[in-house]
Amino acid sequence: MSHRNIRKGGFAAFALVMATGLSACLAPGTPPGWSSYTIARGAHSASVDSPTGATGPLAGWISPSGASRTYDLVLTPTAEYVLTAPTQPEDQFDWNKLPGFSDCGDIDLARNGAMFGWRWRTDTTPRVLELVPYANADGVHQYPQNALATLSHDDLAALESLRYTIEIDGPVYRFAIDGTIRDRAVHESATLPRSCPTHPADAGRWYSGFYFGGTSTAPSQIHSYMREVTDSPAPGGNGSLGSAGSAA
């Protein structure tokens, strides 16, 4: 994918480190053995609940780390949000974030990091959820002009997972989305540049979670199901500094 939008600066609402608390129970419909993310109404960061023996999600600072992150994730119909009182007029079209990681020695994904962006489009017919690769390079927000993949209401209602992969490859991040939704094969990939092409790919980094925003908070509860695909760079799949929400 050759085109990208480049935006300077960051959102003041994003803190350097955002804690993710443990929820009291798994989100409704969580598949057996999977973890769940829940973003409460009025929140940015998701709480996470993992049953005994679940794989991940990775969270917090991990060092040394791997050069990639891969996970299976189900976005549910709760992602069909509508902002009725946005903080800024165009907040409905801000990019929310799926799990990713920081880079270049930063703990702050808003400066340097890679993740997937997602948003629910209320201005299209039919309405769709868009997914894009999203990276920050020295505070510059980078993402393609067009969506890498889209999911309809029926796609979300099917509660089928896609596999998301982010890999560091020298001067670029490589992104991929793979899987099958309602018998439709999804195989999409793209690249975005890093700001630190010579920084070791296996250096320590902050593993982030499911996040809403943008500047506005979630107008209603949003949850997703997640299963990390990893060789666990840290025992139990958790970072040495605890859990964190996405900051980007």
- Phi, psi (5° rounding) for residue 27? -65, 150
Give residue-wise pLDDT tens across range 105-141: 999 999 999 999 999 999 999 999 999 999 999 999 9
> Is residue 243 assigned to a domain?
no
Residue 226 token pair: 């997640």
| Dihedral (CA of 32, 211, 55, 173) sign | positive
> Is residue 94 assigned to a domain?
yes
The stretch 80-94 carries a mean pLDDT of 96
Residue 55: the pLDDT is 75
For the domain that residue 228 is a member of, what is the CATH number?
A: 2.60.120
Could you tell me if 221 and 50 are in contact, meaning their C-beta atoms sit under 8 angstroms apart?
A: no
Overall pTM > 0.75: yes
The stretch 34-49 carries a mean pLDDT of 97
* Domain encompassing residue 21: 5-237
How many domains does the chain fold into? 1
Could you tell me if 212 and 44 are in contact, meaning their C-beta atoms sit under 8 angstroms apart?
A: yes
d(CA 111, CA 139) in angstroms, rounded, equals 4
> Is residue 246 assigned to a domain?
no
Mean pLDDT of the chain: 86
d(CA 11, CA 166) in angstroms, rounded, equals 23
> Is residue 14 assigned to a domain?
yes
> Is residue 248 assigned to a domain?
no
> Is residue 220 assigned to a domain?
yes
Among all chains, which residue has been given the structure tokens 């025992």? 235
Residue 31 DSSP one-character state = P
> Is residue 35 assigned to a domain?
yes
Give residue-wise pLDDT tens across range 169-197: 999 999 999 999 999 999 999 999 999 99
> Is residue 218 assigned to a domain?
yes
